Amino acid sequence: MDWFNTMMASVLPYCPRWMARPFAHPYVAGETIEDALKTIEEIHSQGFAATVDILGEHIQTESEAHTVRDEYSDLYEAIGNTNGDCTISLKISHLGLDISEHLAMENLMVIVNKAQEVSRGITIDMENSELTDITLDIYRKIAAKYDQTGTVLQAYLFRSLTDLKALDSHQLTLRICKGIYREPPEIAFQTKDEIRNNFITLVQSLLKGQGTAQIATHDPILLDSLENWIEENQISPDRFEFQALYGVPMGDRLKKLREKGWAVRIYVPFGEQWFDYSVRRLKENPRIIGYVLGNLFKN
C-alpha cells in the first residue's frame, strides 16, 4: 500500500479543496475560534484536557505575523473564559521567525503577556532541526518570564537527551514526541526501534530528574512500555500526562488512561490553513492517507 499512499499524497495538492477536505476533516477542528471552542468543550466533557493550535507555519510577511499574533491573543481571551484545562501550542515560524528573530520574539511576548493575564499555559512546538537551537533559546527566555511555559523534544534526534539534561529543572514541562519532519541519518535515528528506545530513554530521564513529562504518542508499544514503567516506579501522577492528536483513532486507550487517574490532553489544530497543513502532513507521512481511507471505510 505504500506506493498508493505516496501517489495519493503527491496528487492531493492539485485537487480542489472539497476533495481534500475528507483527509483533513478528522484531524482539524474547523476554521474559526468558535469551531475550536466547540471541540474543546466536547473534549472537556469526556474528561480530557486540551491544547489548541492555530494552523500555519513559516509566515512570510510582517503583517501576516501580526495577524497571527492577534489571533493567538483572541484565542487566549476565548479560552480564558472557559472552565476546563486548555493551553495553547504554537510554532515560532508562524510568528515571523523567517523574517526575523526579533519579530517572532516581539509577537511571542505579546501572546505570553495574554497567557499570563488569563493564567493559561503555552507550549512552543518543535519544528525541523534547523530551528531546534533557536526554539530552545526562545523557550528558556520565555520560561524565565512565565512558569507555565513548555516546549518539545523529538525522540528521533540524537541530540535530544543532551538537550533534556541541560534543561532539567523543577519548572521544566517537556513534551516528548517521535518527531514529524524528515531528518537525515547524520543527526537522527531512522528506524522505528531506535526512535522508540530513545523515546523511552527521554521520558524516563525526565521523570528521574525534576521535570514534568508530556508523553505525546499514539504508539501502543510505547504506551504499554511507559505505562508499566510508570506503575513499577510509582511515579506521581502530577509529574506526567499523556497527549494525543485530535481525531487519531485510539479505541478506548485514552479513556483507560483517565480511569487510572492519569491526565490526558488532546492537541486540537484549527484554522483556515487546514488545506496547506494537511497536504504538508500527507507529503511528510503518506501513511496518513492509509489511516484516513481506513477510517472512511470503517464508518
Ligand X SMILES: Cc1cc2nc3c(=O)[nH]c(=O)nc-3n(C[C@H](O)[C@H](O)[C@H](O)COP(=O)(O)OP(=O)(O)OC[C@H]3O[C@@H](n4cnc5c(N)ncnc54)[C@H](O)[C@@H]3O)c2cc1C
Closer residue to ligand X (CB): 91 or 114: 91
Closest approach, Cβ 51 to ligand X, in A, equals 7
Catalytic residue among 85, 125, 196, 265: 125
Contact call for residues 177 and 138 (beta carbons, < 8 A): no
Q: What cell numbers appear for 216 in the block?
A: 505525546
Rounded to a whole number of angstroms, the minimum distance from the CB of residue 110 to ligand X is 21
Q: Is 57 within 8 Å of 45 (Cβ atoms)?
A: no
> Closest CB to ligand X among 78 and 245?
245
Is the Cβ of residue 61 or residue 162 nearer to ligand X in the bound state? 162
Catalytic residue among 53, 98, 120, 175: 175
Residues 2-23 as b or e (16 or more Cβ within 10 Å = b): eeebeebbeebeeeeeeebeeb
* Residues 6 or more apart in contact with residue 271 via CB below 8 angstroms: 28, 31, 54, 55, 56, 277
Q: In the complex, what is the shortest distance from the CB of residue 207 to ligand X, in angstroms, rounded to a whole number?
A: 18
Q: Which is nearer to ligand X, 66 or 263 (CB)?
A: 263
Is-catalytic flag, 125?
yes
Least distance CB 254 / ligand X (angstroms)? 11
Q: Distance of CA 115 to CAs 4, 19, 53, 120, 160, Å?
A: 44, 37, 14, 5, 27
- How far apart are CB 63 and ligand X at their closest, in Å? 26
Q: How far is the CB of 122 from ligand X (least distance, A)?
A: 13
Nearer to ligand X, 66 or 159 (CB): 159
Whose Cβ is closer to ligand X: residue 116's or residue 295's?
A: 295
Positions in the binding site for ligand X (CB under 6 A): 125-126, 152, 154, 175, 177-181, 216-219, 243-245, 248, 267, 288, 291
CA distance 264 to 107: 29
Q: Annotated catalytic sites, by residue?
A: 125, 175
